[in-house]
Structure 1
Amino acid sequence: MSSFLSETEDERLLSDVVLPGMLSLIHTIKGVSTHHVWAGTHDSLAFYGWPVSQCQSPDQPLFAQLMCGIRALDVRLSVVDGVLMAYHGSAPQRTSFSAILHTFYHFLQDHSRECLVVSLKQEDYATTSPRVFSRLAREEIERSQGGMGLWWLENRLPRLGEVRGRCIMFSRFGGDGKEWEGGLEGMGIHPTEWPDSKQEGFEWYLKGTSVRTHDWYNIPSLLSLPEKTSLCIQNLVPPQCDPPILGITFLSAAGGALALPPFCALGFGWPSWGFGVEGINVRIGRWLLGRLTSGVSDVDSDKMHWSVTSDQSDTQLLDNSQTQADEISNKAEAIGLEVSELPVRGWVFMDYFAEPDGGLVPLLVENNFILRD
């Protein structure tokens, strides 16, 4: 699990890898033979502040995440007395950016054919100017082991062969980019927009790639988890088209009432007995397992319904509009596929990634190697 990318071809575009990974059935799209899924952790350093601010278990520190197959990290920072420290909102997470960079460097030294997508986000806009934050981030990277040479800083999706042993910067900070050589084109992959918690998701363009992002986290209550799951699944199975689509999907959620990060991810109570709520991790895990064990995606190709429960009388998730269904069906037909054969792919960020039972990341990784030949 700690080196699964080493078996992936150098020519593969980063958009064709599901972190941790899935190889698909699709061929001959812009010279790239198969598509992947990459698994990541949302708020990768948020170990403290349960139940409001904690998003990862303290038993799964950063290095353990990397060894378990996590290849996309969500690092959120604030400035404290001139030093960049990990924060989740206003909650301190007791880890310096320097220590985070040290962990990245040593993992990649020992796993030189792997690579990491590292999202860097400023948390303290109210107290620190974007320009000061940007300068401090650059200076800390310059001082760290490996320096700037450890980082992919072009604003485009690379092929894996270009980024073995490196971190790919995904910059959700920077202001006008003047603190970096090359400006906003020299800060790695830089989103052109990121609206807050947009339920229907949003789309932006990156040098010939359409990036479809689902980051609806502010749900009204735990009763919204089925709808949240539906939208995640929709983004995990994008249509094959030109320009190619990279899906970025956040499974994380928090909001009103009891909709706090651990309850949204893990659920609570005894849902199998009718007392409690299933979390989003087990819902997504069951759906992934169904695809792997059945050979298809448990999909009604007419109405585009995916079931994430074992009982077909239960709520059916992903009830799209007819327009959305027609779009996906038409794209699949154009390349000779049934809708049920559309692959899971993209980058997936999750809370409490090791639950349930350590199974979610391996399910994503396993998809990278099915039907490989």
Structure 2
Amino acid sequence: MRLTVVNLTDDALVLSYADNCELTVLPSRRSAATVPKTCEVALHLGVDIAEKYIEWVTCHFRISGTKGASWKPLSVPEDSLWRLYLRKVGPEHRELVILPRRNLASFLSPIPDSVPISRLFLPGTHDTMAFYGWPFSQCQSISTPLSVQFTSGIRFLDIRLTDVQGRLIAYHGAYPQKTAFQDILISVHDFLTSAQGSRETIVMSIKQEAPSLVFSQLVHDEIYAGAGGRDMWFFESRIPTLGEVRGKVVLFSRFGNGDGWENGLNGMGIHPTYWPDSEKRGFKWTCNDTVVRTNDWYHIPSFLSIPEKVSLATGVLEPRSSDKTVPALPITYFSASSFPLAAPQTVSQGFGWPRWGLGVEGVNKRAGKWALKRLSDSVDDLDGLRIRGWAFLDYYEEPTNALVPLFVEFNFRGRKTGEEGWM
């Protein structure tokens, strides 16, 4: 079997396999070899690194094809320096993509303060607090509360609230999600004041789920009275740099007209001026001088529309030539559902045994295939691959917590000194 190894780390790596064979792969390069279909493989730092008296680091894994799947994460020790993905290129061709194991709880920490947050790739959760109401109201696993989402790399929250007797409670449509807005604020504050989260930022989209004449005022008052208070938030109506909002929440207000807020709409953070319902081809709006490309086509006819859904959702994230002259922010939703043939879990995770041709591959697996391909291609792109944007996911931890690390890695590819705020 032909094995192409794509090294997306900053170190030279050596792959050892059958009968003492070795393959050296330089940083940000690819190399290929012929290997047995099933073999024990060891990956370790290159000799030039080891000679500098750095401890010899090795991880072992097996290459046994992908059994019909388009890609899969490989099992490596938790203390490994790398994350490994095996991608199917052809019937007898596999690609091993090696990523550095970044700390997902603090992945923004090493990025320069001067980078606008529109030039980051921020993974997010659609209907972040929708842990109840399976099959059609639940969008996230109950095993992934906010604290887990933050340490897993989630940085964009989709908070949907309803006024219940003067108190804001998380809802998904008409279905209660049991969590008070005040408790959400406590979780956010706990993370942003922790050792891991103090240099991170959270973008919080807040949406009104039921009619209320005082909803906007309630959001304002609960933020000011909640954990962290006013000082924890960025309310200006522009795209800030990362340095301006470390340890803070950037408000993304999908409600209100400015009444009751200091500076009106100019004091409600990023405020979409246009948001049509389930617009299939996407739409644009502006935030100050930034063009925001958005795709939120969620009401798909059935699970048969999953391939088209993924194509449109990833298409928004693809760079445009105009992005170099006009500031742009792509926002995309990988979430979708419709009754009765497309519940959120069905759409995101698929069903059956698609690797054997018996079932449907879900959105998350297809998004991972796209991300792996784009990351792999970046080693051949001399101008640097620039995938930027904010992306919402249902059941983000599926498959096997493998998708968010791929999205996070986009932040470190295609960077050039003097561009996008990169020093």
Q: TM-score, normalised by structure 1?
A: 0.80
Deviating above 4 A after TM superposition, structure 1's stretches of 4 or more consecutive aligned residues are none
Report the equivalent of 1:246: 329
Which letter maps to 2:334? L
**Higher share in strand:** 2
Q: Which runs of 5+ in 2 are unaligned?
A: 1-103, 417-423
| Separation (CA, whole Å) in 2 of partners of 1:215 and 1:370 | 26
Opposite residue 3 of structure 1, the aligned amino acid is S
The residue type paired with residue 15 of structure 1 is: S
Deviation track 1:52-72 (CA, whole Å, cap 9, x = no partner) reads 100000000111101111000
1:10–1:159 CA contact under 8 A, matched in 2: yes
Secondary structure at the aligned position of 1:281 is classed as helix
The answer to whether 1:120 aligns with 2:202 is no
- Report the Cα distance in structure 2 between the residues aligned to 1:108 and 1:257, rounded to whole angstroms: 40
Distance 2:292 2:413 in 1: 25
Match of 2:350 in 1: 267
Residues of 1 paired with 2:173 and 2:184: CA distance? Answer: 18
Instruction: Answer whether contact 1:172 1:191 (CA < 8 A) is retained.
Output: yes
Q: 1:200 aligns with which of 276, 281, 286?
A: 281
Work out which of the residue numbers 163, 172, 181 in structure 2 matches 1:79.
Answer: 163
What is the count of residue pairs matched by the alignment?
A: 309
Q: How does 1:165-314 map to 2 (within 5 A)?
A: 165-174=247-256, 176-241=257-322, 242-295=325-378
Listed as ranges, the gaps of 5+ residues in structure 1 are 20-38, 298-331
Structure 1 residue aligned with 2:190: 106
Code of the residue aligned with 2:265 in structure 1: it is L
Partners of 2:337 and 2:343 within 8 A in 1: yes
Contact 2:378 2:413 in 1 (8 A): no
Per-residue CA deviations over 1:122-153 (Å, capped at 9, x if unaligned) read 0002xx12xx0011111111111221111000
Equivalent residue for 1:347, pick from 377, 385, 390: 390
Percent identity between the two aligned chains = 52
Residue of structure 2 equivalent to 1:152:
234
Q: CA deviation at 1:255?
A: 1.3
**Structure 1 residue identity aligned to 2:187:** T
Q: Distance in 2 between matches of 1:139 and 1:291?
A: 44
The structure where helix makes up a greater share of residues is 1
User: Aligned-pair distance for 1:272?
Assistant: 1.3
Residue 177 of structure 1 and its aligned partner are, at CA, apart by: 1.0
Opposite residue 13 of structure 1, the aligned amino acid is: P
Partner of 2:69: none
**1:143-201 CA-partner distances (Å, limit 9, x unpaired):** 11221111000000000111010000000011x21110110110110000111000010
Report the structure number with the largest CA radius of gyration: 2
Greater RCO, CA 8 A, separation 6+? 1
